[in-house]
Amino acid sequence: MLIRLARVQDQLRRVIADAPPGPIKIISVCAGQGHDVVATLGDSPRRAAVRARLVEGDERNVAEARRKVAEAGLAGIEVCHGDAGLTDAYAGAVPARILLLCGVFGSLTDTDIDRLVAGLPQLCQANAQVIWTANRTAPELYAEAEQAFRRYGFEPRWADPEDHFGVTRHELVGEPQPLQPGRRLFDFADEQTLIKLGRIAI
Ligand SMILES: C[S@@+](CC[C@H](N)C(=O)[O-])C[C@H]1O[C@@H](n2cnc3c(N)ncnc32)[C@H](O)[C@@H]1O
């Protein structure tokens, strides 16, 4: 069984390979240490075409991601320390062809899942590919995210129902929207709220 990271990297590799000639803009929302993007681009024949912005709020993760980016010699990857929940974090990096939303939905309330997905067309170019995860062992969470994608102009392109990590890819088939500065897309919920919602077990 492929682990979550390997599945995300596999989807990322495919959508990079399918991208038309020219620059490929990637955005990673709450990027962590950037394992998915850095490892995938390391051996990609399209690495020189990629312009990626990784947005992460934890300074230690940012430092580690920057170290790995430098080690891999990936000049096109920018690791930004900032609040990925604000549209301002994406100014200058949109519209993206590929968006990564991995390990995010599980920390959001249903209201914020809806608010985030509603805002994604502001980050996307036409037919952008969004690779996201939501653990299927919390079925309401996965369904909530999937329904939000359907509501806001995305169609499913890849998912494996047997994969409990819920790695999934949607494509924007609706219209991209201009980035509106100063808009909040989400806040990570506090632990008590996540326990109540069944997002984390006690
Ligand atoms: C579960 S991890 C996922 C990391 C990575 N995307 C992955 O799949 O491995 C969630 C990450 O979100 C970051 N984070 C939480 N709230 C954030 C915010 N408002 N802005 C940026 N990063 C945030 C955390 O520091 C953490 O690295």
Domain assignment of residue 9, yes or no: yes
- CA 177 to CA 179: how far, in whole Å? 6
The pLDDT assigned to 2 comes to: 65
The pLDDT assigned to 138 comes to: 83
The pLDDT assigned to 191 comes to: 95
Domain assignment of residue 202, yes or no: no
Q: Which domain holds residue 109?
A: 4-196
Domain assignment of residue 201, yes or no: no
- CA 60 to CA 8: how far, in whole Å? 22
136-165 CB burial, b ≥16 within 10 A, e <16 = bebeebbebbbebbeebbbeebbbeeebeb
Query: If you measure from the C-alpha of residue 152 to the centroid of ligand 1, how many angstroms do you get, rounded to a whole number?
Result: 23
Query: If you measure from the C-alpha of residue 31 to the centroid of ligand 1, how many angstroms do you get, rounded to a whole number?
Result: 6
Of all protein residues, the one whose alpha carbon is nearest to atom 26 of ligand 1 is 32
Domain assignment of residue 85, yes or no: yes
The pLDDT assigned to 202 comes to: 74
Contact residues of ligand 1, CB 6 A cut-off: 30-32, 55-58, 61, 83-85, 102-103, 188
Query: If you measure from the C-alpha of residue 102 to the centroid of ligand 1, how many angstroms do you get, rounded to a whole number?
Result: 8
- How many domains does the chain contain in total? 1
Domain assignment of residue 78, yes or no: yes
Q: What is the pLDDT of residues 142-166, one digit of tens each?
A: 999 999 999 999 999 999 999 999 9
Domain assignment of residue 105, yes or no: yes
Q: What is the CATH number of the domain that holds 102?
A: 3.40.50.150
Containing 199, the helix (H) or strand (E) segment is: none
Task: Write out residues in the chain with pLDDT < 50, as ranges.
Answer: none
The pLDDT assigned to 93 comes to: 98
Contacts of the segment 161-166: beta carbons below 8 A, 24+ positions apart: 161/136, 163/2, 163/7, 163/136, 164/135, 164/136, 164/137, 165/3, 165/4, 165/7, 165/133, 165/135, 165/136, 166/133, 166/134, 166/135, 166/136, 166/142
Domain assignment of residue 17, yes or no: yes
Containing 37, the helix (H) or strand (E) segment is: helix 35-42
- CA 178 to CA 194: how far, in whole Å? 32
- Among 5, 10, 38, 56, which residue has the most ligand 1 atoms within 8 Å of its CB, making it the best to mutate? 56
Residue whose structure tokens are 């430098």: 70
Query: If you measure from the C-alpha of residue 51 to the centroid of ligand 1, how many angstroms do you get, rounded to a whole number?
Result: 20
Task: Tell the burial category of 168 from Cβ atoms under 10 Å away from its Cβ (0-12, 13-18, 19+).
Answer: buried
The pLDDT assigned to 39 comes to: 95
Domain assignment of residue 165, yes or no: yes
